[in-house]
């Protein structure tokens, strides 16, 4: 696993680029294992002429300004250093997004990412909080000795690696999932009975049917029409139901065609478990069916200040 950290400069000019000033990374033998190799490259900025306030405060910004290395050269060296390893991790999601942005700017091939673990989310999950925790705070909380200055990409990658043993294995596993799946983590809720759907003449009709789309909040009983289905494996479809008062819940629809060629299935609100979230996370990479017909959307009022505005979510009568 490779832990990546970047320092960058968001310029004041019109070019929308968070220009990378330093790439720091450490390679671990295994997720909870020793550091076996390190990478550090200070990069001379070429796009923005001025540094923003945050970049000016970087402890080693002078090393970037005095560097002979440009981003394309540093990036190619970094990719060579990564080798076959495609499991990346970082404190938050910003670093890999910024790296992708710089690659696109310089027309370089994007990093080949097999698996991405967001260790900031994993740390929050371990602590049972939904807040994003700063790296320095996490290091202080875990009493990691502050041997190096923060905001040097290599040092921050080392600090991030030193926090992994504090993260629960389950949270580490979950942190590789799509963020939309992680938002569904919640305490247990009262069970809602499964509902049969069908028979319907086609798969599309089954996905669009009213009896496949009646969502109910398990806490307050509020009902909302389900609007779309994510799916990767045929037969299993997911959607997120959002109760305005109680948040997001994950609905699953399973469908199969019988000997008569008609489609029947079950609509359920299963308990939230890591395997369920992993399955939904996979479905998010697959296809999306936007439901049509049946439950009609109400027309939005034309004028915003009209007093009798219809509800933003469509309710069942
Ligand atoms: Zn509710």
Could you give phi then psi for residue 18, rounded to 5 degrees?
-85, 95
Contact 256, 267 (CB under 8 A): no
Cα of 249 vs centre of ligand 1, distance in Å, is 10
| Segment 263-268 mean pLDDT | 96
Ligand 1 centre distance from Cα of residue 207 (Å): 24
Distance 218 CA to ligand 1 centre (A): 7
Report the percentage of the chain scoring pLDDT > 70: 92
The pLDDT, as a whole number, for residue 301 is 55
- Can you tell me the distance from the alpha carbon of 243 to that of 186, in angstroms, rounded to the nearest whole number? 14
For 118-155, give the DSSP string.
EHHHHHHHHHT--S---HHHHHHHTT----S-SS-HHH
Closest CA to 216 of 243, 197, 190: 243
pLDDT band for position 220 (50/70/90)?
very high
Ligand 1 centre distance from Cα of residue 260 (Å): 38
Q: How far is the CA of 269 from the centre of ligand 1 (A)?
A: 13
Distance of CA 21 to the CA centre of its chain: 25
Mark the residues whose beta carbon lies below 5 A from ion ligand 1.
217, 219-220, 222, 243, 245-246
The DSSP secondary-structure symbol of 298 reads: P
When pLDDT is cut at 50, 70 and 90, the band that residue 55 belongs to is very high
CA 273 – ligand 1 centroid, Å:
20
* Span from the CA of 226 to the centroid of ligand 1 (angstroms): 14
**How remote is the C-alpha of 142 from its chain's centroid?**
25
Backbone φ and ψ of 71, nearest 5°: -60, -50
In eight-state DSSP terms, residue 72 is H
- Per-residue pLDDT band for 123 (boundaries 50, 70, 90) equals very high
Give me ligand 1 centre to Cα 194, in Å.
Answer: 18
Mean pLDDT of 172-191: 83
pLDDT, residue 313, reads 44
Q: How far, in Å, is the centroid of ligand 1 from the Cα of 186?
A: 13
Per-residue pLDDT for 43 more than 90? yes
How confident is the model at residue 216, as a pLDDT? 92
Q: Which domains does the chain have, with CATH numbers?
A: 2-176 (3.30.420.10), 195-290 (no CATH)
The residue among 25, 217, 239 whose CA lies nearest residue 111 is: 25
DSSP state of 167: S
| Range 166-186 average pLDDT | 85
């Amino acid at each position: 696993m490779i832990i990546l950290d970047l320092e960058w400069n968001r310029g004041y000019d019109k070019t929308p680029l968070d220009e990378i000033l330093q790439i720091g990374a450490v390679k671990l033998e295994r997720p909870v294992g020793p550091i076996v190799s390190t990478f550090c490259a200070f990069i001379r900025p070429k796009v923005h002429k001025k540094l923003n306030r945050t970049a000016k405060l970087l402890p080693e910004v002078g090393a970037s300004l005095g560097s002979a290395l440009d981003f394309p050269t540093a990036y190619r060296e970094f990719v060579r250093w990564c080798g076959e390893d495609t499991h990346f991790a970082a404190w938050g999601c910003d670093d890999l997004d910024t790296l992708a942005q710089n690659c696109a700017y310089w027309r370089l091939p994007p990093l080949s990412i097999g698996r991405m673990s967001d260790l900031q989310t994993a740390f929050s999950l371990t602590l049972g909080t939904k807040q994003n925790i700063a790296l320095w705070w996490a290091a202080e909380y875990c009493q990691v000795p502050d041997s190096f200055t923060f905001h040097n990409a290599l040092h921050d990658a080392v600090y991030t690696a030193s926090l992994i043993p504090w993260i629960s294995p389950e949270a580490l596993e979950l942190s590789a999932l799509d963020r939309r799946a992680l938002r569904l983590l919640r305490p247990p809720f009262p069970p809602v009975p499964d509902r049969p759907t069908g028979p319907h003449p086609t798969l599309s009709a089954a996905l669009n049917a009213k009896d496949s789309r009646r969502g109910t909040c398990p806490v307050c009983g509020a009902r909302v029409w389900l609007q779309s289905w994510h799916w990767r494996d045929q037969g299993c479809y997911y959607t997120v139901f959002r109760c305005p008062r109680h948040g997001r819940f994950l609905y699953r629809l399973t469908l199969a065609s019988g000997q008569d060629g008609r489609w029947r299935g079950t609509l359920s609100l299963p308990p939230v478990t890591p395997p369920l979230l992993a399955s939904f996370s996979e479905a998010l990479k697959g296809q999306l069916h936007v439901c049509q017909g049946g439950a009609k959307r109400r027309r939005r009022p034309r004028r915003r200040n009209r007093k009798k505005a219809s509800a933003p979510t469509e309710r069942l009568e």
